[in-house]
Structure 1
Amino acid sequence: MAKHHFRPARYFNAIGTAEPCLRIADGDTVVTDTIDASGLDAREVAVASRPNPMTGPFFIEGAEPGDTLAVRIDRLTPSRGTGWTYSPLALTVLDPAAIIDRPPSQRVVWDIDQAAGTVRLQEPVRGLEHFAPAIQPMIGCFGVAPAGGQAISTATSGPNGGNMDYRLFAPGTTAWFPVSVPGALFYLGDGHASQGDGEITGTGIETSFEMEVTFRVLKRSIAWPRGETAEDIFTIGNARPLDQALQHATTEMSRWLGEDYGLDARAASHLMGQVVRYDVGNVFNPAYTVACRIAKRWLTKR
């Protein structure tokens, strides 16, 4: 098991089957840089214009179609002291009648104070002079190459992952992705220093990051992304409308409870009906994200 330090020279705004930037072994760790759109210079824009420039793809030896790629998020460190967001609230989260009163779009800059562990508006608006939420780093967009030789925009998401903007994709979480091509071809980027549920203004606090992740190849099949923290397991559905995303996530959780915890469909329904929690990921971009989450204290592995 090796640790690789990779400094990208180019970025991608689609997740697909580009030539691998690095080949690594099962069990290896990669430390690499990701960049937000404001950090791109004129030479890079042709291959990495908005949305969400991605670092990668990484080829993981031994990963074959039908396998699962487990990606442990070891560390997410902002690499500069500022980030940016937009306001106001997105059209997708407002009542139609409220849209007429929506103010014009505005981009603002936030200071990222790693010593204090907080973020602050550089120019606070009235009422937010003392607003300083905690830095809570997360990965907004990551995943593996989709099936069928496709290249999917990093503005959206699907069974392969992508732009999910789910807050639990944070340090300490292991994310699982279904492998569809040899080597998996894994991409990551879109680091947020902080973000509320849903990415309801169209951005988190976007900034550049140094990210450290560790890869494992699992000889098992899944249909949708899954994740595990110290306290919970969760499954991800990506689709539009929102109820379809919820259906994908719920079905994947029922499968998982059968595969690893020995619960048949009836037992899984009793458990899920009482203790499941649903979290909202991205509700701004073309596909919405729903996470179906269960606390590990309710589960016993068989």
Structure 2
Amino acid sequence: MKTNRRNFLQRTTRNGLALLSASTLTAEASSLLLPNGTPPEETAHSPARLKPDHVVRSLPENMVWGYFGADVPPVFKVKDGDVVEIQTVNPSGVSRTNPEEFYTKNKLPLDQHAQEVIAILKNVKPEPSGIRGHMLTGPVYIDGAQPGDSLEIRILDITFPAGFGVNSVWPGGGGIPDAVTTRETFVYRYDTKRKMALLKEGVEIPLKPFMGVMAVSPPADMGRQSSIPPAFFGGNLDIKHLTKGTTLHLPVSVPGALFTTGDGHGAQGNGEVSGVAIETALNLTVKFIVHKGKALKQPRAETPTHFIAVGLDKDLNKAMKNALSEAVAFMKDEMGFTFNEALSIASTAVDFEVSQVVDQTLGVHAMIPKSIFTNRKFSYWS
């Protein structure tokens, strides 16, 4: 049964408030790691960590290397409404043949997380047909999700299991591929008290972690798909606004949806122009909510302050047009404006940002501010 936007928001907000009243989210400052890469200890004076219903660990048996598909067996099954922590890894810069070398060369600890990365690289096999992509955790089967539904992914928390991230440049990669003549890898070390990533003296990047890849399975008739280009089922969207406290909506194409995630980013500029962001391991805690019969054609997202419409295409001009069409359609279909009114609003108030230009299929997202709609109140869960 289809519902209007107001009822949809009211219903999902009630679910979210019930969750937050039962478990207090970690304070923003304590959601990061201490400089040595260990989580801050809870004390009588610190807020309790969010307690998930399930934890999907970053172990070899829970990983898939670079692809999505309806035939990929789920590593975990959860219920509609469950809170799930999904742990991910970052193997950027780490060699499969000598993975320990990366850590010793960069004076990084060979701690438990590093050992997990090494075990994954030694034991997880690439896709047999040659598809390549990111090291991902999943898929997770959500009970009740069926084709024609949409899956709401509420991002409740994002934490760092390691105290560093990696960025690289290489010939043939990024937004100016012909200009890069040498490969170089940069290790960004985290100052978690100040929430900064440090490249070198005088260069500090604010930490704003988000998952580069969040996807459900494509339809079965599409077969397995690489995680590199984003698509209507999500994937490598690289939208920097999908941080803690935001929501992603994806169309469900297969039973159970089969949610997979990875490609954690400590910070990223719009465009991701070197080819990668600050690639980092992240632990993602989400609440899954299935919306029956609410079909979507493309991903949509929401923050406390904005609605986000997504446009994708191999041609950046077409990606821009698709983002505009999605933004206009959202304001027309979900908010009741005429087409011309929606286009006028898009021209006068909506910011269109380039998500990324380096993932084969390029991305533009439209930031629709809620504040301009002064006669409306938008309930939200965070």
- Count of aligned pairs: 292
Mapping 1:213-224, distance limit 5 Å? 213-219=286-292, 220-224=294-298
- 2:138 corresponds, among 33, 50, 56, to 56
- Taking structure 1 as the reference length, the TM-score comes to 0.90
Mapping 1:52-201, distance limit 5 Å? 52-87=134-169, 93-94=175-176, 99-100=178-179, 102-121=180-199, 124=200, 129-147=201-219, 148-201=221-274
Give the aligned partner of residue 85 of structure 2: 31
Distance, in Å, in 2 between the alignment partners of 1:291 and 1:234 is: 6
Letter in structure 2 aligned against 1:25: K
**What secondary structure, in the 3-state scheme, does the structure 2 residue paired with 1:93 have?**
coil
Structure 1 position 44, deviation (Å)? 2.9
**What secondary structure, in the 3-state scheme, does the structure 2 residue paired with 1:158 have?**
coil
Give the aligned partner of residue 285 of structure 2: 212
Are the equivalent residues in 2 in contact too, given 1:224–1:249 (CA < 8 A)?
no
Give the aligned partner of residue 266 of structure 1: 340
Identical pairs, percent: 29
Q: Does structure 1 residue 14 correspond to structure 2 residue 70?
A: no
**What secondary structure, in the 3-state scheme, does the structure 1 residue paired with 2:356 have?**
coil
Give the aligned partner of residue 296 of structure 1: 370
**What secondary structure, in the 3-state scheme, does the structure 2 residue paired with 1:258 have?**
helix
Letter in structure 2 aligned against 1:265: F
- Structure 2: gaps (5+ residues): 1-18, 20-51, 95-116
The structure that is strand-richer by fraction is 1
- Distance change >3 Å, CA 301–CA 270, structure 1 → 2: farther
Distance, in Å, in 2 between the alignment partners of 1:117 and 1:248 is: 35
- Taking structure 2 as the reference length, the TM-score comes to 0.72
- 2:329 corresponds, among 229, 233, 255, to 255
Larger Rg: 2
Distance, in Å, in 2 between the alignment partners of 1:92 and 1:206 is: 14
Give the aligned partner of residue 9 of structure 2: none
Q: Does structure 1 residue 4 correspond to structure 2 residue 4?
A: no
Are the equivalent residues in 2 in contact too, given 1:83–1:111 (CA < 8 A)?
yes
Distance, in Å, in 2 between the alignment partners of 1:89 and 1:167 is: 25
1:22-54 per-residue CA deviation (whole Å, 9 max, x = no partner) reads 111111110121011243444334148963111
What is the root-mean-square deviation of aligned Cα atoms in Å? 2.2
Letter in structure 2 aligned against 1:43: K
Distance, in Å, in 2 between the alignment partners of 1:28 and 1:202 is: 34
Are the equivalent residues in 2 in contact too, given 1:11–1:44 (CA < 8 A)?
no
- Distance change >3 Å, CA 89–CA 118, structure 1 → 2: farther
Give the aligned partner of residue 123 of structure 2: 44
Distance, in Å, in 2 between the alignment partners of 1:196 and 1:211 is: 20
- Distance change >3 Å, CA 247–CA 195, structure 1 → 2: same
Distance, in Å, in 2 between the alignment partners of 1:185 and 1:108 is: 34
Structure 1 position 190, deviation (Å)? 0.6
Give the aligned partner of residue 276 of structure 2: 203
1:193-227 per-residue CA deviation (whole Å, 9 max, x = no partner) reads 11111111111111111110111111311111000
**What secondary structure, in the 3-state scheme, does the structure 2 residue paired with 1:64 have?**
coil
Q: Does structure 1 residue 238 correspond to structure 2 residue 238?
A: no
Distance, in Å, in 2 between the alignment partners of 1:114 and 1:198 is: 25
Range that drifts further, 40-49 or 252-261: 40-49
Range that drifts further, 263-272 or 132-141: 263-272
**What secondary structure, in the 3-state scheme, does the structure 2 residue paired with 1:245 have?**
helix
Structure 1 position 91, deviation (Å)? 5.3
Distance, in Å, in 1 between the alignment partners of 2:132 and 2:297 is: 28
